[in-house]
Amino acid sequence: MYASMDDSAPPSFMERVKSSFKQRSQQLQDQTAVWPKARWGFFFFLLFVYGLRVWIVQGWYIVTYGLAIYLLNLFLGFLSPAQDPELDGGGPLLPMKDGERMFIRRVPEFKFW
């Protein structure tokens, strides 16, 4: 009457590849968490290489424009608080002492990556 857990179909090839990719990318993120300067340096290096490629090829301007808007949106979310302090009851905007009010980003650093 009830189907046991073992009766479900095994995951497809694409599901296994996707799961393996997610697991490997999470491992890489965990390994690089202790080197924020290296991550940001690598990001700006890749951004420079991409800009150089666009300049040499003399194309991909629309794609670059869309990428710039997307990165700007992520950057603004990275700099913005998760909750608007002015809407939280009109209390103090800055913390008065440690631990009273933490700054929580709307977009965490690894989502920004």
Tens-digit pLDDT profile for residues 30-52: 888 888 898 889 989 999 999 99
pLDDT at 52: 95
The model carries a pTM of: 0.58
Q: Give the model's pLDDT for residue 56.
A: 95
Q: Where are the domains of the chain?
A: 59-113
Does 22 score more than 80 pLDDT?
yes
- Cα(71)–Cα(108) distance, integer angstroms: 14
More confident residue, 53 or 85: 53
Spatial separation of the C-alpha atoms in residues 39 and 87, rounded to whole Å: 34
Phi, psi dihedral angles at 82 (to 5 degrees): -65, -35
Using the predicted structure, report yes or no on whether residue 101 has a pLDDT greater than 80.
no
